[in-house]
Amino acid sequence: MSKLAIETIGLRKKFGNQVVLDGIDMQVPAGTIYALLGPNGAGKTTLIHILSTLYDQDDGIVKIAGYDLATDKDMVRQSISLTGQFAAVDEVLTGEENLRMLCRLSGLTAAESRSRTEELLRHFDLAAAAKKRVKTYSGGMRRRLDIAISLVVKRPILFLDEPTTGLDTISRRSLWQIILQLKEQGITVFLTTQYLEEADQLADIITVIDSGRVVATGTAKSLKSSIGGEVIEIRNEKDEIVRTAATSGTLLDMNQALNELTQSLSPTMRVSIRKPSMDDVFIALTSQEMERAPS
């Protein structure tokens, strides 16, 4: 088995009487992109905060880069970078100034800071905006700077909490390219997302959590095939989907599903058949619709 970058066994966390994480078991192989998906309030941010040492767990074992979080927190901190939902960037400074300041604060010399800053600005496609104040940046530029800042010091594991929330399609795709390049450099990327397509496109492994429990883990392909072979869609006269039904894809199963649908829907509605999508996976696993990315 490949080396694990992150491992949790029976991880639990409560806030007051509310159980937020209820025995999370997870294995993240080194060098992968691993996506944590779940509806609002499922516990994703809490989990990423525990893994990145911001919160203590109440119970369970957490190992990051082989170090036990309970006994080796300093070594864990030296193995990780975190980009949260609200990163600490000084809006009045330029992108270059922010990066250079963080380089100096991280202990790099002035010359090292200059060259690392240049390298990051180039890599994150911010060279042209280097001398502009951050408050003039677009959402996509800002997120790229957030991630660049968290990579000032090279660490093997990167946590990204909802990296593309609120970004338009083009900015999101450009960030996906950057995340894929980080993986090519051997960095393990652990991200949370509310967007199904993001997990589908990027992640080697997806874990779905709901109400603090793992409800499924696998590749996008295995999760989709786990819920059935074919999905029946019924559309009304305005071409809106009014009902879907997951089936195994056998004649018998589809016939039965169609019979049931015919009993409760108008017989003139149209039928189409498609393979399961990540939306179907989420509805099946969490009984909730996931947020859709802006397109």
Ligand X SMILES: Nc1ncnc2c1ncn2[C@@H]1O[C@H](COP(=O)(O)OP(=O)(O)OP(=O)(O)O)[C@@H](O)[C@H]1O
Q: CB nearer to ligand X: give 178 or 209.
A: 209
Give me the DSSP letters along 191-221: EEES-HHHHHHH-SEEEEEETTEEEEEE-HH
Binding residues with ligand X: total (CB under 6 A): 11
Q: Kindly state the smallest distance separating residue 47's Cβ from ligand X, in Å.
A: 7
CA atoms of 220 and 207, how far apart (whole Å): 10
Candidate segments 38-46, 151-159, 195-203, 244-252, binder of ligand X by CB under 6 A: 38-46
Contact between 42 and ligand X by CB under 6 A: the answer reads yes
CA 24 vs CA 143, 167, 189: distances in Å: 29, 30, 19
Q: Kindly state the smallest distance separating residue 49's Cβ from ligand X, in Å.
A: 8
Q: Kindly state the smallest distance separating residue 255's Cβ from ligand X, in Å.
A: 39
Beta bridge partner(s), residue 82: 159
Contact between 45 and ligand X by CB under 6 A: the answer reads yes
Residue 128 burial class via C-beta count within 10 angstroms: exposed 0-12, middle 13-18, buried 19 and up:
exposed
Query: Of 187, 107, 202, 198, whose CA–CA distance to 151 is shortest?
Result: 187
| From candidates 40, 71, 259, 287, binder to ligand X by CB under 6 A | 40
Q: CB nearer to ligand X: give 41 or 294.
A: 41
Backbone angles phi, psi at 178, to 5 degrees: -65, -40
Q: Kindly state the smallest distance separating residue 11's Cβ from ligand X, in Å.
A: 13
Binding mask 179-208 for ligand X (x = CB under 6 A): ---------------x--------------
Contact between 268 and ligand X by CB under 6 A: the answer reads no
Tokens of 230: 């074919």
DSSP classification of residue 130: T
* Residue pair 76/53 in contact by the 8 Å Cβ criterion: yes
Contact between 100 and ligand X by CB under 6 A: the answer reads no
* Residue pair 143/176 in contact by the 8 Å Cβ criterion: no
Q: Kindly state the smallest distance separating residue 215's Cβ from ligand X, in Å.
A: 13
Burial 95-116 (b: 16+ CB within 10 A, else e): bbbbbbbbbeeeebeeeebeeb
Candidate segments 36-44, 99-107, 137-145, 255-263, binder of ligand X by CB under 6 A: 36-44
Q: Kindly state the smallest distance separating residue 42's Cβ from ligand X, in Å.
A: 4
Binding mask 65-94 for ligand X (x = CB under 6 A): ------------------------------
Query: Of 63, 49, 57, whose CA–CA distance to 3 is shortest?
Result: 63
Contact between 15 and ligand X by CB under 6 A: the answer reads yes
**Amino acid identity at 152:** V
* Residue 174 CB coordination number (10 Å): 17
Contact between 41 and ligand X by CB under 6 A: the answer reads yes
| From candidates 46, 94, 117, 286, binder to ligand X by CB under 6 A | 46
Binding site for ligand X (CB under 6 A): 15, 20, 38, 40-46, 194
